[in-house]
Chain A
């Protein structure tokens, strides 16, 4: 029973992990930017949802799409004004600038929001229901479902809509995409905007399950990075599966080896994936 419960915990948490990594994988795959400020964007999304909930009194799940729109605009502006300048330069430059961005976002957040802990705490945040002896947390289940829904929408956009075809075409062959009338500057900004919006949604859900401080970004970036590598950058569902895989691995580690070792295992998995399937990971990167 303990094992079943822990597997369930791992799957539900893994869905959220996958959503966290989704935006990072998208930006990485299309723009070839390893966005080290991704965790900080998740943090910002969490705060946007928090303030929509506490100041405007909007239910956090209703606030989530609003936060996503706000974060999309922010991400669009960020790519348009800053990241487009370095989008085709060397990997090191993009790492440096996104790392700098993460520092700026984190400390601006501390100035604006203070270092106080915030939780997005609607009345049902702690609710749960029993299923065959297992306890299912309402918020965690909802977060999982939102993650699946957003991954499905992203898959649909990427594979069925003209915008998605343009995004994939740009990723595959920039020159050819341009010949077909794609404007890469706009397209990059839209892609980064979508990635930021997904980060925003993940942040809102994270704030309901855990808590928000300006400093959560760095560790969330690391987690997203691992999952993006494990899941690959090609298919949104693979990223979600990657998240679930890491979620289960962490839960089992906590059960059998000890909670101190969860990070060892998730980063260990990264090494294993790079060793076993280097060609795929390298090509994707």
Chain B
């Protein structure tokens, strides 16, 4: 008796609840699958947090206006556990069963290459800030847009700077991981090195997730190179630099990394051994980058740090720009129709906390890389197309520091 009473009460409550009208708010849902756990969670968090912060800020400012109606943005974010196959399934789920309006990207080129095919197949735009490999944008896809500049040109500004520094490096050791992003970097960098009139003395690729670089470093040491240009993932960059010191490998002039150097995590883990390392970033939290919602990039960085307890880097800024792209494009299209919004994205042209957002005909943004260096534990911008700060150059040998 008691049981059936409880049951009927529950049933009643359920009917009452379902009879309530659905929330009257108009909602635009942005779907994304990002690395919240797993091997690349450390970088994935930038996207998770930047998407959330941008959505929150835009909603607080009133949301998105489409044809006289106001919409709020909503995020449908899943954890792909740093697993490419899972992320593809999750994007299929987002478009086919969750019925999200638009897609935001995951982190890393190899994820974007697979996931963007889902966007293209279902003809729902994906604006991504995590993949820059040429392989993403050379397939003629119409629905994929990227806010990271082409991987092949990552070392463009670094090599330009190296040409202007005295003594000028003559030989280069190029070390790159074997995943799609780093293969693109290496391919582009080889051409750039030749163009700069330097010689590639060592050219090695290594398996993704390697933790031991002693063989490569031994070869580099024997070749007595002037400089090392390195491309891979942050954890491998850390290992590489530590093992450089352990094996006393000091190139005559300098060494540079595609990733790692701009992040606070990198400097914290290495301490003073991080000094002299060159790196690159497309973005610095500079007040000259004006933004409709955050005011400027410096404000964005401040709010981000206050909310999440760590400093944003270019990944985060790129992710926030992806969300903003949608707001501009949807308002311009005056519609939620994926095709119309896609066309509006293609003709984007706005200032943001990240950069001036304008996509090329292949869907990818083009931005110069700012060369940065860690000097006495501080991250200093050094060069874009002119010197911003004086680089500490050449880097002294490990035993002379």
A binding-site residues for B, Cβ under 8 Å: 1-2, 5-6, 9-10, 13, 107, 110, 115-119, 121, 125-128, 135, 137, 139-140, 209-211, 213, 215-216, 219, 250-251, 254-255, 258-263
Contact = CB atoms under 8 A, between A and B. Distances in A.
Contacts of B41: 110, 115, 215
B67 interface: no
Given A6-B214, A125-B246, A254-B216, A115 B234 contact: no
Which of B212, B243, B247 has the most A CB atoms < 10 Å from its CB? B212
A84 to B, nearest CB: 30
22 contacts: A2-B222, A5-B221, A6-B218, A13-B214, A110-B37, A116-B268, A117-B235, A117-B265, A119-B238, A121-B271, A125-B245, A126-B398, A128-B247, A128-B248, A139-B246, A210-B211, A211-B211, A211-B239, A215-B38, A255-B218, A259-B215, A260-B178
B80 to A, nearest CB: 14
B273 interface: yes
A211 B207 contact: no
Contacts of A2: 218-219, 222
B45 interface: yes
Given A125-B242, A259-B207, A262-B207, 11 more contacts: A117-B238, A121-B270, A125-B245, A128-B245, A209-B243, A210-B239, A211-B238, A251-B215, A258-B204, A258-B205, A259-B210
A251 B214 CA distance: 8
B222 A119 contact: no
A183 B315 CA distance: 57
Contacts of B215: 6, 9, 250-251, 254-255, 259
Which of B204, B211, B213 has the most A CB atoms < 10 Å from its CB? B211
Which of B41, B242, B246, B270 has the most A CB atoms < 10 Å from its CB? B246
Nearest to B206: A259
Contacts of B213: 259
A258 B207 CA distance: 9
Contacts of B204: 258-259
Contact of B269 (A126, A211, A215, A260): A211
A135 B243 CA distance: 12
Interface of B: 37-39, 41-42, 45, 82, 178, 204-207, 209-216, 218-219, 221-222, 234-235, 238-239, 242-243, 245-248, 265-266, 268-271, 273, 398
Nearest to B218: A5
A9 B45 CA distance: 35
Contacts of B211: 210-211, 216, 219
B212 A210 contact: yes
A215 B208 CA distance: 14
Top 8 closest A-B pairs, CB basis? A126-B245, A254-B215, A259-B206, A9-B214, A137-B246, A115-B41, A115-B42, A210-B211
Nearest to A123: B271
B207 A126 contact: no
A254 B178 CA distance: 14
Given A9-B214, A115-B42, A117-B234, A263 B239 contact: no
